[in-house]
Structure 1
Amino acid sequence: MATSVAYDGSPQSIADARAVAREFLTEVQSVHGLPVSARAMGMVQLVVSELVTNACKFAPGPCLLNLEMDQGAVQVTVWDTDPSLPVARAADPGRVGQHGLEIIMAVSQSFEVHREPVGKRIKAAVVLADDPGGDAAGRMP
């Protein structure tokens, strides 16, 4: 199961992308019977929001959101037109804002960045089921 949506890069794209993520996970749950915890619903929307926000803020023009189910996780992929690769910044409790990449990496099972012939593609996987004794992102110790 997968869905893709193109956005024009306007600020409204961010809210629209969160709504698409919510609808996608609702369909995963109701149509396909896969469990989606409240935590997973929130984390997927957070990752989508952060990635689309960065695309709208830093890349001129359109962006593309792709959501795909893969072995119990949602693969969130965002393509944008800016070839600059994001870099996680050092922890700084005094810094206001610009923590999106750190957040995405903390809540995702995996995180990848690829430069494309035009722009870049960022992919993060968010596990759907909760593991009460495990890592919040679903990573193995």
Structure 2
Amino acid sequence: MRAGYALDGGVGRIADARHHAVAFLDQAHVVHHVPVPARALDLTHLVVSELVTNALKYVPGPVLMELRISACAVDVVVWDCDPIVPAARPADPHRIGQHGLEIVKAVTPDLFTEQESVGERITARIALSHTSSSDTVRR
């Protein structure tokens, strides 16, 4: 299952992206019976927020978000038109802001950045570890 969203400018688009992610995971759970642990839902919400915030804050132009889910993982893919692939900065407890990729790297086992002919694509993979059924989101 996959879904794509175009997000154009404005702080409200970050909340829209989070809303799309929650609705996408709800649909995967309810319609397709994919177990979505609460932890995976929370991490997806966080990763979407950080990646979309970075793209909308630092890059003029359109931002595209794609969500994909399989039996094993949720992929959050964010594309923007910046030709420079971002890198997580070294940890610095005194730095204010610019911790987005640092946070995403800390909570996802797989983070892929790709330069494309136009822009960049960042993919974060969040594992759907099958824990106890009490941890699965019920809708």
TM-score by length of 2: 0.89
User: How far, CA to CA, are the matches of 1:26 and 1:38 in structure 2?
Assistant: 11
Q: How well do the aligned residues superpose, as a CA RMSD in angstroms?
A: 1.4
User: 1 or 2 for the larger relative contact order (CA 8 Å, sep ≥6)?
Assistant: 2
Q: Distance in 1 between matches of 2:31 and 2:70?
A: 16
Within 5 Å, which residues of 2 pair with 1:79-94? 79-94=79-94
Could you tell me whether the CA contact under 8 Å between 1:37 and 1:129 is conserved in 2? yes
Q: CA deviation at 1:18?
A: 0.1
The answer to whether the Cα contact below 8 Å between 1:21 and 1:45 also exists between their aligned partners in 2 is yes
Q: C-alpha displacement at 1:109, in angstroms?
A: 2.3
Letter in 1 for 2:94: G
The answer to whether the 8 A contact 2:34-2:71 is kept is no
Instruction: State whether residues 44 and 126 of structure 1, in contact with CA within 8 Å, keep that contact through their aligned partners in structure 2.
Output: yes
Report % sequence identity.
50
Residue matched to 1:108: 108
Aligned residues: 132
- Residue 6 of structure 1: aligned partner: 6
Q: 2: distance between equivalents of 1:119 and 1:34? A: 32
1:25 aligned counterpart, secondary structure = helix
**Deviation at 1:130?**
5.3
Query: Quick one: distance in 1 between partners of 2:47 and 2:74?
Result: 11
How many Å separate the matches in 2 of 1:71 and 1:114? 24
Please state how far the C-alpha of 1:28 moved relative to its aligned partner: 1.0
Does residue 75 of the first structure (1) align with residue 55 of the second (2)? no
2:51 and 2:91 map into 1 onto residues whose CA distance is: 19
Aligned to 1:55: 55
- The letter for the 2-side match of 1:89 is R
Structure 2 gap segments, 5+ residues each? 133-139
- Give the secondary structure class of the aligned counterpart of 1:14: helix
Aligned residues of 1:9 and 1:55 also touching (Cα < 8 A): no
How far the C-alpha of 1:117 sits from its partner, in A, is 1.1
Alignment of 1:25-40 (within 5 A): 25-40=25-40
Which residues of structure 1 form unaligned runs of 5+?
133-141
